[in-house]
Amino acid sequence: MASLCRDCSSVQPEKVEICPVCHSDRTLWHAQLEQLSVAHIDCDAFYAAIEKRDNPELRDRPVIVGGGQRGVVATCCYIARLDGVRSAMPMFKALKACPNAVVVKPDFKKYSAASREIRAKLEALSPLVQMVSIDEGYIDLSGTGRLHAHSPASLLATLAREIERDLKITISIGLSENRFLAKMASEMDKPRGFAVVAKTDVEAVLGPLPVSDTHGVGPAFAKRLSQDGYNLIGDVQATGRVDMMRRYGESGQHLWDRAHGVDHRRVSPDRERKSVSSERT
């Protein structure tokens, strides 16, 4: 069981709650912490965070980034989310839920510039970087320990602090052994989070989650699964792979694999990321 301090990036060989180096309590631990190397990086409320960074008067205000009354929410800060505002929500519904919100029109030139800075920081750590949108991406740090003289977990903790220092925004990190589990992990501790999930954790960590939390399961498929009695990922884990394939075809095979933490996709730096325009919803 190894521990990582998120404030100084030191790694201890045993579980510690208070870092013996800097005395921070921002520590995390996992039995496979030093063996995992695939991470998902997700900027926290990216557009809204950039707007708050550039306008300090918005710091403690609920901020919605999006169009006018007939537009939709591109993103919103966590203060607005407390009132139920969500991305892709019609603007009139968002303002009804959070009437005190400040609405800011998107500035994609500014967001793209910040995204390029983040990508540059990732590529300084590894050539295996795959941005899948303007504010999230994957990095494979396998084999970089000798080059950087630090484990992937330690490098990621330092990366998070550097982004906060240089860009004045926060990120959440998920560390695992494949892309799917890294993505799931990054969503378990937000904002400014760092979570670790290995295949050995799948039954305990993913099992209690709604099956709709599985990436690739849309509303229609989730509804069908619920009608058939599959409400939790654990329900899928308890079903045989062949049975899922017979019932749902390729979608059943995909879901079974994900429920068991199986994902053979590599971090592919040549893959073209989604365009900025697709972020406009």
Q: What are phi and psi of 238, to 5 degrees?
A: -85, 0
Tell me whether residue 17 is one of the annotated catalytic residues.
no
Pairing of strands 63-66, 194-196: unpaired
Q: How far is residue 101's CA from residue 187's CA, in Å, rounded to a whole number?
A: 25
The catalytically annotated residue of 17, 123, 136, 164 is 136
Q: How far is residue 150's CA from residue 130's CA, in Å, rounded to a whole number?
A: 21
Closest CA to 176 of 277, 37, 63, 77: 37
Hey, what amino acid is at 161?
A: R
Angle at 88 between CA 121 and CA 184, to 5 degrees: 50
Closest CA to 36 of 136, 123, 138, 140: 140
Catalytic residues: 136
